[in-house]
Amino acid sequence: MSEELKPCPCCEGLNIDKFESHHRHTVYCIKCDLGITRNTEAEAVEAWNYRRAEDALKARIAELETKLALEQIKGLDLCMCMLRSKVEKQVEDT
């Protein structure tokens, strides 16, 4: 199992450990003792690393960054369009 463990969601501690007891697997924070127990190590790791709010926020940030980039492109297009018509008008006037 080489999957990286995220910091503790409670205290943001980085010292996270795992142990098995009575065929149950636990991932826990050494600093604050927060832990999560599942039937397999993979399930315990997945549960530990699952951050609903964090994942939702990351998705929303990506969505907004895309929207912002598109707005900037639109703004540039508008500038180019205005410049082009200005130049065309000057050419017509001469």
**Which residues bind to Zn ion, rule: CB under 5 A?**
8, 10-11, 13, 29, 31-32, 34
Residues 6+ apart with CB under 8 A from 56: none
For Zn ion, the closer CB: 5 or 34: 34
Could you list the beta-strand ranges (E) of 1-94: 16-21, 24-29, 35-38
For Zn ion, the closer CB: 34 or 38: 34
Closest distance to Zn ion from the beta carbon of 30 (Å): 8
Closest distance to Zn ion from the beta carbon of 48 (Å): 11
Helix (H) or strand (E) holding 61: helix 52-93
Cβ atoms 27, 9 nearer than 8 A: no
For Zn ion, the closer CB: 7 or 75: 7
Closest distance to Zn ion from the beta carbon of 27 (Å): 11
Q: How is residue 80 written in tokens?
A: 């180019």
